[in-house]
């Protein structure tokens, strides 16, 4: 009897991603750089195109038909994002250009006005530069002190060290949910609860978690959370900030100009209501609407289904990589069924440069990333100048992992032979 292959999630959705059908250097593309940016389904691409073809107009202040349609679609996208992360109100979602801008918004609007000399900010050594540089700048301007949570022996966030850093001086905790290099999933609910016990505000960088697992900001109870559209099957140039409404109402505008005002006089102005007071100028209208389409797409697939399938993938990839000699994987080891780690792996092969690996793999049609992944301090802690990184999404398959492993072994053998 012939066995019937059960269709995986990837089997069902790959037809929605036209970019995956191409060849690179004469070989089928295997895209394993999803932590850098995700690919876009047809529904998102067509939404962008439809906006420009059918109702391209500025939003909010126009009385004509196209402006009304654009405004409705733009604000509907805000509702979709609010529901996606379970915000208590649509007013708690602010559209930004990206997650970096969202963090800077909080840093300059809240941080600059609430932190003072001697106050303490808690970050971690695994943070993306976007969650380091803004706070370093604010600390320089205010005299606040930054403290860094170190790694545990398993190369995860050392929660006991985090607890030891908390004190009445702690005013802000800003930590990543999922590390883009270690793949560890930090216990954000516990992190927030502990921070709040000392009266600190807590910001969560969820760029690597929003596309892969269910996010509930009310359950997490964070004060702010940021996400990036292009990592969640949406377009570039759009991100979002979630913030508790009372906090956002207290925060002054980050940028000034059109859209964010209520009234303007020659000697003063008044701000618009939330969330518009943080969205100065013409927003990324098409991108926001297309982000809404991406949210629809992910919602229809089901975030629990995505997470469960990616657990299968990471368990399979991790097992295959562990069989390669002299290969060092960073971050915690997942369980046999893929729990305890996100679907990405940063690694190095002894004696080989990560960029050489990624360049050679590209010749085999395999797209991975090499470098420090915007985590230079983390790589210094790990004793590495950089690393290679393979990162998965729900449209990747076991067959692609197999092809990647073959290409990786061939690349290692090539360099080993060349050095003999």
C-alpha–C-alpha distance, residues 149 and 175, integer Å: 9
What spatial distance separates the first Cα and last Cα of the chain, rounded to whole Å? 50
Instruction: Give φ, ψ of 382 to 5 degrees.
Output: -80, -10
Q: Is residue 65 annotated as part of the catalytic site, yes or no?
A: no
CA–CA gap between residue 162 and residue 187 (Å, rounded): 11
The two three-digit tokens of residue 230, written as one number: 């292009």
Helices 303-322 and 398-419: crossing angle, nearest 10°? 30
Structure tokens at 34: 């999803």
The answer for residues whose C-beta is within 8 angstroms of residue 128's C-beta and 6 or more apart is: 176, 180, 205, 207, 374, 375
**Nearest Cα residue to 407 out of 365, 371, 370:** 365
Q: Which helix (H) or strand (E) holds 370?
A: strand 369-371
79 neighbors 90 (Cβ within 8 angstroms): yes
**Closest to 410 (Cα-Cα) out of 324, 350, 348, 328:** 324
Q: Of 65, 207, 233, 374, which is the active-site residue?
A: 374
Dihedral angle over CA of 327, 180, 306, 235, nearest 10: -130
Specify the DSSP element, H or E, that contains 73: helix 65-84
From residue 148, alpha-carbon distances to 364, 376, 378 in Å are: 40, 14, 11
Active site residues: 374
């Amino acid at each position: 009897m012939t066995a019937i292959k059960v269709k995986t999630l990837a089997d069902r959705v790959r037809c929605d991603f036209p970019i995956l059908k191409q060849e690179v250097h004469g070989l089928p593309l295997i895209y394993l750089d999803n932590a850098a940016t995700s690919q876009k389904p047809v529904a998102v691409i067509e939404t962008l195109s439809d906006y420009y073809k059918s109702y391209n107009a500025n939003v909010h202040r126009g009385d004509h038909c196209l402006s009304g349609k654009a405004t409705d679609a733009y604000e509907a996208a805000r509702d979709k994002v609010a529901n996606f992360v379970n915000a208590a109100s649509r007013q708690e979602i602010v559209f930004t250009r990206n997650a970096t801008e969202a963090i800077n918004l909080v840093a300059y609007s809240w941080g600059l006005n609430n932190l003072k000399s001697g106050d303490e900010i808690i970050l971690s050594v695994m943070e993306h530069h976007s969650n380091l540089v803004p706070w370093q700048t604010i600390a320089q301007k205010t005299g606040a002190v930054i403290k860094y949570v170190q790694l545990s022996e398993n190369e995860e966030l050392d929660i006991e060290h985090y607890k030891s850093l908390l004190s009445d001086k702690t005013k802000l905790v800003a930590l990543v949910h999922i590390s883009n290099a270690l793949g560890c999933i930090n216990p954000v609910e516990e992190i927030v609860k502990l921070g709040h016990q000392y009266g600190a505000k807590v910001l969560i960088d969820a760029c690597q978690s929003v596309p892969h697992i269910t996010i509930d900001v009310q359950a997490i109870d964070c004060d702010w959370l940021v996400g990036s559209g292009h990592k969640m099957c949406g377009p570039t140039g759009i991100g979002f900030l979630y913030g508790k409404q009372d906090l956002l109402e207290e925060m002054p505008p980050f940028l000034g100009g059109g859209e964010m005002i209520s009234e303007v006089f020659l000697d003063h102005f008044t701000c618009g209501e939330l969330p518009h007071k943080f969205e100065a100028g013409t927003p990324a209208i098409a991108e926001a609407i297309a982000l809404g389409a991406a949210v629809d797409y992910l919602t229809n697939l089901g975030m629990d289904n995505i997470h469960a399938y990616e657990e299968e993938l990471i368990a399979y990839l991790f097992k295959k990589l562990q069989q390669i000699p002299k290969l060092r994987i960073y971050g915690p080891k997942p369980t046999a069924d893929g729990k305890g780690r996100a679907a990405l792996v940063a690694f190095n092969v002894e004696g080989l440069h990560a960029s050489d690996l990624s360049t050679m793999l590209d010749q085999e049609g395999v797209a991975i990333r090499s470098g420090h992944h915007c985590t230079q301090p983390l790589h210094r802690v790990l004793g590495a100048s950089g690393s290679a990184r393979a990162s998965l999404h729900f449209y990747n398959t076991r067959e692609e992992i197999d092809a990647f492993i073959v290409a990786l072994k061939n690349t290692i053998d090539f360099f080993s032979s060349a050095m003999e």
